[in-house]
Amino acid sequence: MNTRAVGALLVAALGCDREKPGAPPCADGSARSDGACASMRDATKDAAQDAPASDATTMRDAPDSAVDAGRPAPPWASGRWRVPWERRDRPLPPRCGPGRPTTGVEFFGSGSGLCANERWTGTVTNGGASVFDDENRTWFRLLGGETLAIFPACGAFGGSLVGATDRIGGHAALVLFDDPREEGHVVWTRSFAPSRDIQIATNRILTTPRMTVVEWFVPNEQALLVGSANGSALERDPVLNDAVRGRFIEELQADGDHLVMEVAGDIYLYTRGAAGMSSTVENLTRSPSMQFDPWVSGRYVVWTDQRHGPSGTAWQLDNTEVYLYDLETRTERRITHDPPERPVIQHYARVAGDWIVWSDQRNSGLPNTYPVAGNVPLYLEVYGYHIPTGREVPLVTGRNMLGAIALQRGELWYNCSILSPRADGVYRMSMPTTP
């Protein structure tokens, strides 16, 4: 997960890309050239890894009591708060495939990179967090600062939920807005030992109409907190945190009462218990190979799987394939089938309704190479799979550099880097009703 420099702005609702600029060095002293230590992600699966107390990549218990040392009050102390923002002007990019251009900046590839509801589209990139007013076609950027970090996310009912961290005062809060440019009300607060080394305490925020999950990310106090749909009543679920204690969590994504996690190369499913019922955590992929980028929607979980490319690692992929798991029938299904003599890499499997989508390198000049060194163009396309009929269809094709994708509100969203003229942007298109 990205832990970024002071003043960084991140968006989450749908957890960040594999790149981790600014992350601490690996335990063996080597650099994190791709953002994570391969030794951590390629570790023997199902074996909990002990880590130093200062290692912010593992889940540890967060204290139940708030810290209050008479420090200055945060800007949201009154229970109301207006997020600092500025309007930005940026033209929409030219067309790329069948989708219509929506924003002039791209988003990170995982579940936390794009947030779209009835009116707002939020993206996160290396350049920070941006929110687009789809109704008025305006773009504005939320502003942090030397002591203040902001992490916005989709609200459960069409609003915007923002996580804010006052590093120097040692305060964190979730604030719910109908309009991110207007004043919102505080739904949850927590204190911690202040430190300039803290990037943002509410590191990833995932919301569904049934729950909110927050990754609490303070040194010596890492935990996953679960609460109500509007972000209130957050608390540590011991079932969830005990299952991931001491293990590296790469990706998070939530839908309904389900949370899927990429934990040390396996896909874990957390199901929040109903009132009076216990929550559960289960490993869906007990395999010696690596699994990546889980996504859950309703009864289905999808991911990309390394089991058919035995020479692949977490950061040098080999013939990754898309897999589907049906939570109702408890069965697993292989979706893509690339022969060993012509291996192909797939990325970013997503599922919603009857459709699975993914980014595909089959028509690239380097179909089984990722990442690509230097400036070699990596042409990616988007393909879809209709679950009821078992039919695969091309959705976005052409010689452009397609990247991260998402399925939200019945639409396919995709990044496109147009090579000539050079332009980046987010595009959206309706999914077909039938293949």
Which range in 20-29, 237-246, 325-334 is most confidently predicted, on average pLDDT?
325-334
CATH number for the domain that contains residue 382: 2.130.10.120
Does a structural domain hold residue 26?
A: no
CA quadruple 93, 95, 97, 98: dihedral sign: positive
pLDDT at 37: 34
pLDDT in tens, 385-413: 999 999 999 999 987 777 788 888 789 98
Peptide bond into 288 cis (omega under 30): no
- Give the rounded percent of residues in the chain with a pLDDT score beyond 70: 75
For 100-137, b/e burial (b = at least 16 CB within 10 A) is: ebbbbbbbbbbbbbbbbbeebbbbbbeebbbbbbeeee
Strand boundaries in 1-83, DSSP class E: 80-81
pLDDT higher than threshold 60 for residue 36: no
Burial 344-358, CB ≥16 within 10 A → b, else e: bbbbbbbbbebbbbb
Stretch (H or E) spanning 240: helix 238-244
Position 5 confidence tier, pLDDT thresholds 50, 70, 90: very low
Q: What is the mean pLDDT of residues 96-121?
A: 72
- pLDDT of amino acid 141: 75
Residue 193 lies in a domain: yes
Q: Which residue has the higher pLDDT, 380 or 130?
A: 380
In a domain, 66, yes or no: no
Q: Is the predicted pLDDT of residue 20 greater than 60, yes or no?
A: no
Residue 28 pLDDT > 60, yes or no? no
On whether residue 72 sits in a domain, the answer given is no
**Range with the lowest mean pLDDT among 34-38, 71-75, 129-133, 334-338?**
34-38
Q: Report the chain's mean pLDDT, rounded to a whole number.
A: 77
> What's the rounded Cα separation, in Å, for the pair 59 and 224?
7
Span 49-56, average pLDDT: 33
d(CA 137, CA 220): 43
In this structure, of 12-16, 362-366, 410-414, the range with the lowest mean pLDDT score is 12-16
- Within the chain, how many helices (H) and strands (E) appear? 2, 30
- Cβ neighbours for 215, distance < 8 A, ≥ 6 positions apart: 1, 15, 202, 203, 204, 205, 222, 223, 224, 225, 249, 252
Q: Is the pLDDT of residue 226 over 90?
A: yes
Q: Tell me whether residue 20 is in a domain.
A: no
Question: Residue 58 and residue 242: Cα distance in Å, rounded?
Answer: 12
Q: Which domain, by its residues, includes 404?
A: 38-51+81-430
Of the given ranges (16-25, 178-187, 262-271, 396-405), which has the lowest mean pLDDT? 16-25
Whether residue 235 contacts residue 253, with contact meaning beta carbons closer than 8 Å, is answered with no
* Rounded Cα–Cα distance for residues 336 and 331 (Å): 16
pLDDT at 271 over 90: yes
- Residue 263 pLDDT > 80: yes
pLDDT for 53: 31
Distance CA 340, CA 62 (A): 46
Determine the pLDDT at residue 317. 87
Kindly report, residue by residue over 82-108, the tens digit of the pLDDT. 888 888 777 778 888 899 888 766 665
Does position 39 have pLDDT exceeding 60, yes or no? no
Domain count, the chain: 1
Compute CA distances 389 → 376, 384, 386, 411, 433, whole Å: 37, 12, 6, 20, 12
| Beta bridge partner(s), residue 75 | none
Is residue 173 situated within a structural domain? yes
**416: which strand partners?**
402, 425
Which pLDDT score, from 0 to 100, does residue 376 have? Answer: 61
- pLDDT tens-digit map of 186-225: 999 999 988 877 878 887 888 888 999 999 988 877 899 9
Using DSSP, state whether 155 is helix, strand or coil. coil
Confidence check: pLDDT of 4 > 70: no
Q: How far apart are CA 306 and CA 221, in angstroms?
A: 33
pLDDT bin (cut points 50, 70, 90) of residue 257 is: very high
Residue 100 lies in a domain: yes
How many Å apart are CA 11 and CA 128, to the nearest integer? 8
Q: In which band, very low, low, confident or very high, does the pLDDT at 377 lie, cut at 50, 70 and 90?
A: low
Residue predicted with more confidence, 3 or 312: 312
236, containing H or E segment: strand 235-236
**Residue 126: φ, ψ to 5°:** -60, -20
User: Distance (Å, rounded) from C-alpha 433 to C-alpha 273?
Assistant: 33
| Average pLDDT for 131-135 | 74
